[in-house]
Chain A
Amino acid sequence: MTLYDPILVGLLLEHLARCRKQADHLEYSLRRARDATPLSDEERLERYEALTSRFARLQDMLVAPFKTIAMLEFEPDKAERIPDLLSLMEKLAILPQVRDWLEIRKTRNAIAHEYSECPERMAELIDRVRRQSRILIAALGRAERYADKARRVG
């Protein structure tokens, strides 16, 4: 049985609590995006901005708990390079596939560059944000279960 460093477990729990808060904000924006109430362009844009920035921020924020998990797994080198870190998360089944993360990063980058002048692309982008939000939130859930196990064992 692996023994987990309690200080690192404490750090992981802190990171995860911050991510969970962000995930809750994202869930709120996802619910608002489904709301069919007619809105002005400004209101719709504001909701879109909130949804996409919460989505992007959650992806950014998840890197910190992933790195702490690498330390807990005695793989500190893997915390140094993102591709190695993602492979480790896949191995631990926290991420279903490294490819998912790369796809999410593409969506995240497109958020900054896609403009509302092309409605089809915007609709596709929002659809990706919705689907991929579920992947991020599920990964957070699995990281929380990992932390819970580490807390009990450690």
Chain B
Amino acid sequence: MRISEQQRQLAVARLRECFGPDSVIWLFGSRVEDRRRGGDVDLYVEAEQEPDAGRLTAEMAVAIDLEDLFEGVSVDLLVRYPGDAERPIHRIAKQRGLLL
């Protein structure tokens, strides 16, 4: 996993602040693989609750904060909200990703 322990903790805290304390978060994509270099940070979130702002606005605000945390690296958030059907991409993120 190519994010630091401190980044992991801060990212999880920021995501849970927005999407609820019982939200579950996975890192997936290229950052899971130790041998690769660079790449975006892809995060999959199973949200516990709806954010205070609109979904899109909340996701973008959190992504900007996380990009600051990951020193300018682009952060892509994939969020599944309560009641949303599970899509193939959600399953892949969980199967191939790392639970944070």
**Chain A residues engaging chain B, CB cutoff 8 angstroms:** 83, 99, 102-103, 106-107, 110, 114, 120-121, 124-125, 128
A107 with B60: CB separation less than 8 A: yes
Is B60 a contact partner of A99 (Cβ separation < 8 A)? no
Interface size class of B (residues with CB under 8 A): 10 to 19
Q: Tell me if B60 and A106 are in contact (CB < 8 A).
A: yes
Chain A, interface SS category: helix
B63 interface residue per 8 A CB criterion: yes
B55 at the interface (CB under 8 A from A): yes
**CB–CB B57/A124 < 8 A:** yes
Cβ distance A83 to chain B, nearest Cβ, rounded Å: 7
A99 touches B64 (CB 8 A): yes
Report B40-54 CB contacts with A as 1/0, cut-off 8 Å: 000000000000001
B60 contacts which chain A residues (CB < 8 A)? Answer: 103, 106-107, 110
- 11 further A-B pairs in the complex, CB-CB below 8 A; given A83-B72, A103-B61, A128-B57: A102-B64, A103-B60, A103-B64, A106-B63, A107-B60, A110-B60, A120-B54, A121-B55, A121-B56, A124-B57, A125-B56
